[in-house]
Amino acid sequence: MVAAKSIYKRYSFLWMLVPALAIYTMLIAYPFVSSLALSFFKWPGIGPKEYVGLANYKNVLTGYMSREFYRALGHNVIFFILSWLTGIIPGLIFALFLSAGIWGTNFFKTLFFIPNTLSIVIVGFLWSLLLNPQWGFINQALKIVGLGVLAKPWLGDTTLALPTIILVNAWRSMGFFILTFLAGIVGIDREMFEAARIDGANEWQIITKIIVPQLIPIIGTLTILKVIWSFNVFDIVFAMEGTQAGPAGSTDVLGTLFYRIAFGGLGSSDVGMGLGATVVTLIFLIVFPISIIYVYLVEKRTKAG
């Protein structure tokens, strides 16, 4: 009795951890496990659940849903590759520009970051007005500068729509990449530059032999984030092409496919919470190993100071 009391007293501070732990467990940890479990059931959302084993996975991976699934998965892969190329590389280049000590650097930094503070759906709506085929500013501007042939129905063309959405996404997130790289460049020990100059290195060599290698960990982290974001993309496609991810499904990603199956109904070959949970679990299986690496890197870097 006395011992129990003293243990209670000794660990009485633990109650302060309870709210965070309880909310997190109830609304994050438990739902993840529960979602996994749900993927083995057939269930329209109400009424009894029917255990179907791996049938949902079979339907998605090799059965009647597989065509839609692989098409969406392919679009996610394209999203990752193109958004990496249009995000990481120009982000690094502009960060180098901003590190050159040119007039107005702070002004540019702030300005470049503005789009990143805006809601993705709102950015999507704004650009769908700008890209509108009848009126759209972009087409009008192309005509004025004599490039009228390039005026296209950007969001209505099955080959152009996805790259257009990716570019709009790049427009919004560029500031984030620029400033993250810039923070990395500023953190590099300046003495390394001086030492290299004494050894006769030119500025180009300083960039390629010192700065870029020093930025590899940041490039790695940003690449991982890009993977996680690319496989979870939803808002921008929804805003610019709707739940059907038109034209003719040419911008359909796993996020919109999942939404239709679990919540939308319309236009999907099947509806259901179990099938939806299956798609989500598959997304999770793709993203999870990469996420583990991310946590490991972040932990390591924090420990290193």
Partner 1 sequence: MLKLNSLQKSIILILLVVWALVNIFPLGVMFISGFKTTREIFMDPFGLPKKWTFNSYVKAWHVANFAAYFKNSIIVSLVSIVLILFVSSMGAYVLARFDFPGRRLIYLYIIAGLVLPVRLAIIPIFLLIRSFRLNDTLFALFLVYTAGGISFSTFLLVNFFENIPVDLEDAARIDGAGVFRIYWQINLPLLRPALATVTIFNFIRVWNDFFFPLIFIDTDAKKTIPLGIQNFFGEFDIQWDLLFGALNIAIIPIIIFFLILSRQFIAGLTEGAIK
* Closest separation in Å from C-beta 114 to partner 1: 6
Q: Does 207 bind partner 1 (CB under 8 A)?
A: yes
Candidate residues 77, 126, 196, 271; the one interacting with partner 1 per rule CB under 8 A: 126
Measured over the CA atoms of residue 194, residue 196, residue 202 and residue 205, the dihedral's sign is negative
Amino acid at 159: T
Contact track, partner 1, 143-162, x by CB under 8 A: -x------------------
Per CB under 8 A, which region of 48-56, 63-71, 154-162, 297-305 contacts partner 1? Answer: 297-305
Question: Would you count residue 287 as binding partner 1 (CB under 8 A)?
Answer: yes
Q: What burial class does residue 73 get, using C-beta atoms within 10 Å of its C-beta: 0-12 exposed, 13-18 middle, 19+ buried?
A: buried
> Residue from 20, 198, 266, 304 that binds partner 1 (CB under 8 A)?
20
Q: Which of 6, 62, 110, 205 touches partner 1 by CB under 8 A?
A: 110
Nearer to partner 1 by Cβ, of 175 and 249: the residue is: 175
Site string for partner 1, 72-91 (x = CB under 8 A): --------------------
Nearer to partner 1, 159 or 237 (CB): 237
Whole-angstrom distance, CA of residue 260 vs CA of residue 267: 7
Contact indicator for 107, 219 with CB cutoff of 8 Å: no
The smaller minimum CB distance to partner 1, of residues 14 and 159, is found at: 14
Instruction: Report the nearest approach of partner 1 to the CB of residue 281 (Å).
Output: 8
Measured CA angle at 280 (ends 261, 122), to 5 deg: 75
Which residues face 41 on adjacent strands? 51
Q: Is 108 in the site for partner 1 (CB under 8 A)?
A: yes
Give me the phi and psi of 236, to 5 degrees please: -70, -35
Q: Is 283 in the site for partner 1 (CB under 8 A)?
A: yes
Q: 4 vs 27, which CB is nearer to partner 1?
A: 27
Nearer to partner 1, 32 or 159 (CB): 32
- Pick from 245, 256, 96: which is nearest to 177 by CA? 96
- In angstroms, rounded to a whole number, what is the distance separating the alpha carbons of residues 122 and 235? 9
Query: If binding is defined by CB under 8 A, does position 66 make contact with partner 1?
Result: no
Nearest distance, CB of residue 211 and partner 1, angstroms: 9
Residue 71 near partner 1 by CB under 8 A: no
* Stretch of 5-13, 62-70, 73-81, 155-163 contacting partner 1, by CB under 8 A: 5-13
# residues contacting partner 1 (CB under 8 A): 100
Q: Is 154 exposed, middle or buried (0-12, 13-18, 19+ CB in 10 A)?
A: buried
* 72 residue type, one letter: A
Q: Does 228 bind partner 1 (CB under 8 A)?
A: yes
Nearer to partner 1, 24 or 159 (CB): 24
H helices of the chain, where?
2-10, 18-24, 30-38, 55-61, 66-98, 105-113, 120-130, 137-144, 161-186, 190-198, 203-205, 212-231, 235-241, 254-259, 273-304
